[in-house]
Chain A
Amino acid sequence: MSLEALQTDAEGYLANRDDWSEELAQELASQMGIQLGDEHWKVLKTARTIEGESGSSPGLRKISKRSETPIKSIYKLFPDGPAKLIAKIAGIPKPKSCL
């Protein structure tokens, strides 16, 4: 699916989880100035897996523990707000509270 045809919510998060693909992630990341390497993929796939299991986008500590990537390193991989960037690129909703 091309970037233009994608359905997103008002804040630019993917509306349908199933529209996601690795190619799309590459494209979204490069738009944000991030070149995805193995370390990025480990973090992104972990976030996506946890969201699939538990129905909510995980916080950084859970992603960090599961992917064995220190939180500090996650900030280096996804500068400028890793929690939001990871959710956007991994095609999952933004981390939210109940209000």
Chain B
Amino acid sequence: MKTIVILGAGTAGTAIANKLRRRLPKDWDVAIVDPSGTHLYQPGLLFLPFGNETEERILRERGSTLGKGITWHQKTVKAIDTNRRLVELEKGDELSYDFLIIASGTEVRPEMIDGMLGEGWRKNVFDFYTLDGAKALREGLANFEGGRLVINIVEMPIKCPVAPLEFAFLTDDYLTKRGIRDKTELVYATPLDGAFTKPLASKTLGYLLEDKGIQVETEFMTGEVDSEKNVIRSYDEREVPYDLLVTIPPHMGAGFLEDSDLGDELAFVPTDPHTLAAKNVERVFCIGDATDLPSSKAGSVAHFQADLMAENILGAIDGKELEPSFDGHSNCFVETGHGKAMLIDFNYETEPLPGQFPIPGIGPLPLLKECRRNHWAKLMFRHVYWHALLPARPIPISPTMSLAGKQLSAAAELGGA
């Protein structure tokens, strides 16, 4: 018997497990390790704080997401021994592998910032990147009666890099509906040099912040949350006061990658950008949020990677060279509030461009532009997630980016690419 071991059964791990199980012969065991008994649809966490999403709709029993013939070890991974090709689990159990896929994602680490877990935590300091955080924030928002609401990205990289901006737009919408928008100062504090950092996006989308009256505090790297004074303080001693703080804490890779040969300083796995093989070791691949790649940490990316990685692993089993097929393709709907959303489609080389995005059977969707149809498509994504993404069934979007419908001239005019 030969074995492929997959570490982590989130979006990426589940998709690649289901795909490989269907494609591999019976003498291959597909084993997956994940201690948690439920699968969380994380994009739903964006809507839950506003009361527009329910826990039941975004949680499933993990067993129901893993296809027949996949062996699930409900345990925590402790370490990897690449010399002996062994994975060490809690309680001293071991799994040996012929190929290993690291799919352990990333998690938020609020304890890394002084004072973040202090007095105010989950009273007027919240995160929405975890289920508990999003639920607490739902209460926090319901009790909010106006004041300064600050949304703060502590540092990059984070998963779903547009989610904090979407959160700001949805907050504007929510407060307007509650009739307290004019009693609220909405502030977006980012370590980057703008809410939009690419030339085309800042030019075409800057109006969103202006129209919605969102103040932007740039190049703000939070060193401390001061719960006594209710301010966040940056390393260069600037202070941003808040009545309600929505923080996106620092992200790190899984615990077993920290201080290991496989993880970098933030416990992300140095990975070949095109073949997705882990660097400097044999027979190990990395997929999804766990990589150190500049592609977005997003579910769509995990899906595209799973498609291409499955082919590469099947090839490797037959002794073939790995294909450098992954191009950094990402495809994301960006909520802009008031029932609208944008669609962005890009890769390592090409920034999000305007134009039309053709989807067979659904029709073209406008790119880099707000519209109602994109909002409906974003809501439909939950259905696509459970029924196509996780079971790794085909979706009508190519795993590599296509230029069809995109206005290349838009970037050229700005002198960018």
Contacts and interface: CB of A to CB of B under 8 A. Distances in A.
Interface residues of B, number: 40
Nearest to B292: A54
Interface stretch (B115-123, B156-164, B305-313): B156-164
Task: Determine which residue in B221, B270, B348 has the highest number of CB atoms from chain A within 10 A of its CB, and name it.
Answer: B221
Interface in B202-225: 205, 219, 221, 223
B201 A99 contact: yes
B265 A66 contact: yes
A96 B294 CA distance: 10
Which label, helix, strand, loop or mixed, suits the secondary structure of the B interface? loop
Interface in B155-212: 155-157, 161-162, 165, 191-193, 196-199, 201, 205
Given A81-B219, A84-B219, A98-B346, A56 B294 contact: yes
B66 interface: no
B337 to A, nearest CB: 16
A99 B165 contact: yes
Contacts of B219: 81, 83-84
Interface string A33-73: 00000000000000000000111100111100110000110
B415 A99 contact: no
Contacts of A94: 193, 197
B221 A71 contact: yes
For chain A, give the interface size range: 20 to 34
Given A55-B348, A62-B266, A96 B192 contact: yes
A25 B273 CA distance: 28
Interface in B17-50: none
A10 B415 contact: yes
A23 interface: no
Nearest to A54: B292
A95 B201 CA distance: 15
Nearest to A81: B219
B191 A83 contact: yes
Contacts of A72: 223, 235
Contacts of B293: 54-55
A96 B198 contact: yes
B162 A59 contact: no
B155 A98 contact: no
Given A81-B193, A98-B330, 14 more contacts: A54-B270, A55-B348, A59-B191, A61-B155, A62-B264, A65-B266, A66-B265, A75-B236, A84-B219, A94-B193, A95-B156, A96-B198, A99-B162, A99-B196
Interface of A: 9-10, 53-56, 59-62, 65-66, 71-72, 75, 79, 81, 83-84, 94-99
